[in-house]
């Protein structure tokens, strides 16, 4: 599938659980260091073209430096950096930063077929990161009303999703070994004063490839339990 741009269509409203449930078939793709807009458009194309028989997929990758604005972003939360590109996207949430050294896991799933809601999916995405950190003897937690994963009050993973016609895309971003300075010019996820951390600062020195592999294992395990 090419990374060609397609016109965005408005998302469907709430849909009924009408598709037949089936055992999850999940394909994991490793896509390297990518431009945000190219991947975003590719996710839209994939979701637009899929049908009831399409395989669910997880895309693992990194992004070139970019600020992304969710549908709920407020003007006072806009970045003051001036050097990093800004993209207004179609995911939920407010503002965040992506850059090299951050693992992105985009989940392209048929939620109707899986008979799972957004809250249930968010829970499993968060649990996959908590599982990963637990393997390194690090205690992590979630927060009610503030999706993501936190260690000692600092955010280490952010989440944002979009649902169209009962299928989702976007996903989670895990800070591993990156330049965190661009977070200082924004209110991450709309929360003033929110501290941001990463695995390297938590004492984890495994390679990015190793952590990507472990996250993939945790994520596919959680998703296949649906």
Catalytic residue among 23, 167, 168, 189: 189
Place of tokens 């661009």: 182
The C-alpha atoms of residue 69 and residue 93 are separated, in whole angstroms, by 8
Pairing of strands 167-175, 154-164: antiparallel
The total of other beta-carbon atoms located within 10 Å of residue 113's CB is 21
Give φ, ψ of 188 to 5 degrees: -55, 125
Give φ, ψ of 117 to 5 degrees: -90, 175
First to last CA, the chain: 27
For the chain, what are the domain ranges? 26-224
Task: Using the CB atoms, write b or e for 175-200: b if 16+ within 10 Å.
Answer: bbbbebebbeebbbbbeeebebbbbb
- Can you give the pTM of this predicted structure? 0.87
23 assigned to active site: no
One pLDDT digit (tens) per residue for the chain, 226 residues: 333 322 222 232 233 334 444 456 899 999 999 999 999 999 999 999 999 999 999 999 999 999 999 887 777 667 766 789 999 999 988 889 999 999 999 999 999 999 999 999 999 999 999 999 999 999 999 998 889 999 999 999 999 999 999 999 999 999 999 999 999 888 665 566 779 999 999 999 999 999 999 999 999 999 988 7
Cα of 91 vs its chain's centroid, Å: 10
- pLDDT tens digits, 45-66: 999 999 999 999 999 999 999 9
What is the total residue count of the chain? Answer: 226
Task: Record the tokens describing residue 86, joined without a space.
Answer: 């800004």
Q: For domain 26-224, which CATH number applies: 3.30.930.10, 3.20.20.140, 3.40.30.10, 3.90.700.10?
A: 3.30.930.10
């Amino acid at each position: 599938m090419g990374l060609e741009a397609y016109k965005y269509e408005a998302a469907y409203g709430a849909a009924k659980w009408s598709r037949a449930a089936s055992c999850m078939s999940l394909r994991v793709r490793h896509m390297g260091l990518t431009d945000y807009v190219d991947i975003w458009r590719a996710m839209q194309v994939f979701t637009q073209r899929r049908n009831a028989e399409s395989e669910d997929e997880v895309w693992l990758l990194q992004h070139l430096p970019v600020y992304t604005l969710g549908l709920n972003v407020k003007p006072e939360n806009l970045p003051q950096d001036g050097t990093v590109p800004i993209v207004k996207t179609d995911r939920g949430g407010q503002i965040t930063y992506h850059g090299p050294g951050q693992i992105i896991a985009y989940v392209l799933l048929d939620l109707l077929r899986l008979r799972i809601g957004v809250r249930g999916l968010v829970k499993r995405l968060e649990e996959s990161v908590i599982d990963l950190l637990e393997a390194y003897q690090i205690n992590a937690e979630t927060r009610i009303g503030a999706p993501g994963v936190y260690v000692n009050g600092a955010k280490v993973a952010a989440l944002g999703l979009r649902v169209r016609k009962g299928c989702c895309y976007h996903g989670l971003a895990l800070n591993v070994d990156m330049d965190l300075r661009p977070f200082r010019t924004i209110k991450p996820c709309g929360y003033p004063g929110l501290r941001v951390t990463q695995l390297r600062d938590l004492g984890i020195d495994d390679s990015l490839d190793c952590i990507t592999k472990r996250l993939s294992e945790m994520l596919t395990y959680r998703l296949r339990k649906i």
